[in-house]
Amino acid sequence: MGEPVEVVKCVTSDLYVPAHAEIIIEGVIVPNVMIEEAPFGEYTGYRTSPREKRTVYRVKAITMRKKPIMAVSNMGVPTDEGQLLRSFSLALEMEKMLRDQGLPITGVYMLPESTHHLVVVGVRPAYANIATQIGQLIFGSKLGPWFHMVVVVDEKTDIYDKDELIHALSTKCHPVNGIRIEKSGVGTPLNPYATPAERRLGVAGKVVFDCTFPLDWPAADIPIKVSFNNVYPKEIREKVLSKWTTYGFKE
């Protein structure tokens, strides 16, 4: 930290590489020679593109530390390390972007199982149609082509709890009024649900699910969530929790 990286000279060239790298692969790119790339899975859990010819890299030497750590991401159906890393890092990126825009969000989460196609945003609804605004900002961002679905929930829903998310989606999102569809958003050629034409053109459908109750509803018309924390007095909750294990339940 705060010091230059220690380097050593390569075995087959005059280039220098980090001295403490796990593995160094030396070689040359062969000009004007291309061969078909072996079929690989993608982060979506599918292989959506045909085998194509790629540049050839001819290996001349491999050096390594003793017992090197070889980091490999063998992408496929969820959940692998690539999906985990991308979901967490991209969620933080989107959260920062939305906060920089001054939106009253409570957090952003991407379920690794969704291969980061689905973005969950918690918000304190301050005005009508805020869910649509959030979706437009996410889809219009530099990372927008990778995101296809945005679910917006209010601050009473724990965005990190899949059970709460499914409950909010199935009970608070109006099947007609709560869904915003964009037919020709910017997509990627790796999108499994896209048609072949959409993949070639880089377009994809997008959707926003608004799982918040309308702000113009009278307070008396807003359904009350019936949960342990909402409807039972504090003393009852504390009594039950204090005796939880004596009832035969695990903590």
CA 18, CA 21: separation in Å to the nearest integer? 5
Q: What pLDDT digit, counting tens, does each position of 39-98 carry?
A: 888 888 888 877 889 999 999 999 999 999 988 778 888 888 888 888 999 999 999 999
Q: What pLDDT digit, counting tens, does each position of 187-198 carry?
A: 988 888 889 899
Positive or negative torsion for Cα 17, 19, 22, 24:
positive
Laid out side by side, the sheet with 105-109 consists of 105-109, 118-123, 149-154, 203-211, 179-186
Q: What pLDDT digit, counting tens, does each position of 85-104 carry?
A: 889 999 999 999 999 999 99
pLDDT for 190 equals 87
Task: Tell me the H-state helices in 116-217.
Answer: 130-139, 162-172, 196-201
pLDDT higher than 80, residue 251: no
Q: Are 26 and 3 in contact (CB under 8 A)?
A: no
pTM of the model: 0.82
pLDDT for 165 equals 95
pLDDT for 230 equals 83
Residues with Cβ within 8 Å of residue 171, at least 6 apart in sequence: none
Domains of the chain listed by start with CATH number = 7-64 (no CATH), 81-215 (3.40.1670.10)
